[in-house]
C-alpha cells in the first residue's frame, strides 16, 4: 500500500504545480479536449443509431463548458 500512497502524494504535488495549471488552460489542451468530445459524440451517435443526437449534442456542449476554457 505504500507504493499507492507514494503515487497519490506525487499526484497531489503535480496537481498543485502552477505549470500544470498553465498547460491545462492552454489552447493545445482545449484542442485536445474538443477532439476527444467530438469523437465521443460521434461514437454515441453511431451506437444509438442517431436516435438521440439532440441529447448527445446537449451533453457534449455541457461537457465542453465544464472542461473547456474557450
- What confidence tens digit (pLDDT) does each residue in 13-48 have? 887 888 888 888 888 889 999 999 999 999 999 999
Q: Residue 64 corresponds to which cell in the numbers above?
A: 465542453
Residue 19 lies in a domain: no
H-helix or E-strand containing 19?
helix 18-24
- Please count the residues of the chain: 70
> Looking at the predicted structure, is the pLDDT value of residue 69 above 80?
no
Residue 1 lies in a domain: no
pTM of the model: 0.67
**Measured distance CA(64)–CA(43) in Å, rounded:** 16
Count of the separate structural domains present in the chain: 1
pLDDT tier at 11, thresholds 50, 70, 90: confident
pLDDT at 58: 96
Range of the domain at 70: 25-70
pLDDT at 52: 96
pLDDT at 1: 59
Amino acid at each position: 500500500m505504500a507504493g499507492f500512497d507514494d503515487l497519490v502524494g506525487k499526484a497531489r504535488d503535480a496537481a498543485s504545480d502552477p505549470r500544470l495549471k498553465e498547460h491545462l488552460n492552454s489552447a493545445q489542451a482545449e484542442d485536445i479536449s474538443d477532439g476527444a468530445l467530438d469523437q465521443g459524440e460521434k461514437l454515441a451517435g453511431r451506437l444509438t443509431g442517431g436516435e438521440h443526437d439532440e441529447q448527445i449534442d446537449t451533453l457534449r456542449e455541457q461537457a465542453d463548458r465544464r472542461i473547456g476554457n474557450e
